[in-house]
Amino acid sequence: MQICRSTQDMRDWRKDAGRVALVPTMGALHEGHLSLVAHARDWLDDHGGGRVVTSIFVNPTQFGPTEDLAKYPRDEDGDIALLRRAGCDAVFLPQVADIYRPGAQTHVEVAQLGGMLMGQLRPGHFRGVATVVTKLFNIVQPQAAAFGEKDYQQLTLIRQMVADLDIPVQILPVPTMREADGLAMSSRNRRLTPQDRAAASVLARGLDGAQAQIAAGDELTSVQDALRAMLASEPRADIQSIDIRDAADLSPVTAITRPVVILLAVRFGDVLLIDQRVAHP
Ligand code: PAF
């Protein structure tokens, strides 16, 4: 597996790499990321073959001033070992100074999708995501890139961005991998205390219940009330937001007449967890 530690290394490797599928990550890799790598590989196999590149970059511009960038888990050696085992062809590990050079003036903002929901809870977050993903696309020049459905708003926003800016990258959505108790896999789970880790399974139970209610034809308010009550029954859960939105464009809904996505953001201690579920009436 090729290790590229700078933009120049990556560009040099890219020249002869042929078709490429990118898996953008912030490291602290787990089974969920390996599933992104596997989906990227499958896509390449279906398109005549090629190379999978995983980027590992803890992007400072998507963290707010009150969010602890320094506490984000990092495990470069462990990540490289996992990617080797997963059959990844190259890993891109740039330094912050290589991605954000002094004097830069340009950023990418997906106005509406970036300002709603998590964008209100974390101002500036999606501007940081859209900017770094655009830069990664420009450096790696992939034909496809895999993103997890767990970060549903991020996935929706990236799709909008590539359409708006005519970026020739196919976006591959990848279903969420879950622990045995239903907790969505996330690098942040490593920072949960054992008590919070056990309590966090309430998210998946809440989503299961809401999905079943929607499938049974229950009304929006009754789904929302039951979900809030279920989450509130866990004293360690500090609910930040519960939203039910149109699954296609995240616009607000007043009744459930087409597929919706249920979006949760809940704190356990100082760890903010998000999860989602698409539900069909
Ligand atoms: O989902 C993530 O890990 C990050 O937001 C991403 C897409 C790698 C951009 O930094």
Question: To test ligand 1's pocket by mutation, which of 133, 136, 176 has the most ligand atoms within 8 angstroms of CB?
Answer: 133
Q: Are residues 196 and 227 in the same domain?
A: yes
Q: Distances in Å between the alpha carbon of 159 and those of 1, 133, 144, 155, 280?
A: 29, 11, 12, 6, 21
The letter for the amino acid at 209 is G
Q: Ligand 1 mean position to 25 CA, how many Å?
A: 5
Q: Are residues 163 and 232 in the same domain?
A: no
Task: Summarize pLDDT for 224-242 with one digit per residue, the tens.
Answer: 999 999 999 999 999 999 9
Does some domain include residue 182?
no
At a CB cut-off of 8 Å and minimum separation 6, what does 173 contact? 147, 148, 149, 155
pLDDT at position 264 is: 98
pLDDT (mean) for 238-257: 98
Domain count for the chain: 2
Task: Summarize pLDDT for 89-100 with one digit per residue, the tens.
Answer: 999 999 999 999
Q: Are residues 136 and 196 in the same domain?
A: no
Q: Are residues 149 and 228 in the same domain?
A: no
Q: Are residues 105 and 204 in the same domain?
A: no
Does some domain include residue 179?
no
Q: Are residues 152 and 210 in the same domain?
A: no
Q: Are residues 169 and 195 in the same domain?
A: no
pLDDT greater than 90 at residue 196: yes
Task: Summarize pLDDT for 105-135 with one digit per residue, the tens.
Answer: 999 999 999 999 999 999 999 999 999 999 9
Does some domain include residue 192?
yes
Q: How confident is the model at residue 67 (pLDDT cuts 50, 70, 90)?
A: confident
Which is the closest atom of ligand 1 to the Cα of 133?
Answer: 9
Q: Are residues 119 and 250 in the same domain?
A: no
Given 150, 174, 198, the domain boundary residue is: 174
pLDDT at position 260 is: 98
Which is the closest atom of ligand 1 to the Cα of 55?
Answer: 8
- Alpha-carbon gap, residue 188 to 177, rounded angstroms: 14
pLDDT at position 66 is: 85
Question: pTM to 2 decimals?
Answer: 0.96
Q: Are residues 47 and 153 in the same domain?
A: yes
Atom 6 of ligand 1, residue of closest alpha carbon: 25
pLDDT (mean) for 154-177: 98
> What is the CB < 6 Å shell around ligand 1?
24-26, 59, 62, 129, 132-133, 151, 154
Which is the closest atom of ligand 1 to the Cα of 148?
Answer: 1
Q: What percentage of the chain carries pLDDT values higher than 90?
A: 98
Does some domain include residue 140?
yes
pLDDT greater than 90 at residue 88: yes
Atom 5 of ligand 1, residue of closest alpha carbon: 129
Q: Are residues 115 and 230 in the same domain?
A: no
Concerning whether 125 is annotated as a catalytic residue, the answer is: no
Domain that holds residue 199: 187-279
DSSP 95-161: -HHHHS-TT-------HHHHHSTHHHHSTTHHHHHHHHHHHHHHHH--SEEEEETTSHHHHHHHHHH
Q: How confident is the model at residue 258 (pLDDT cuts 50, 70, 90)?
A: very high
| Residue 13, token pair as written in the block | 């490797």
pLDDT at position 229 is: 98
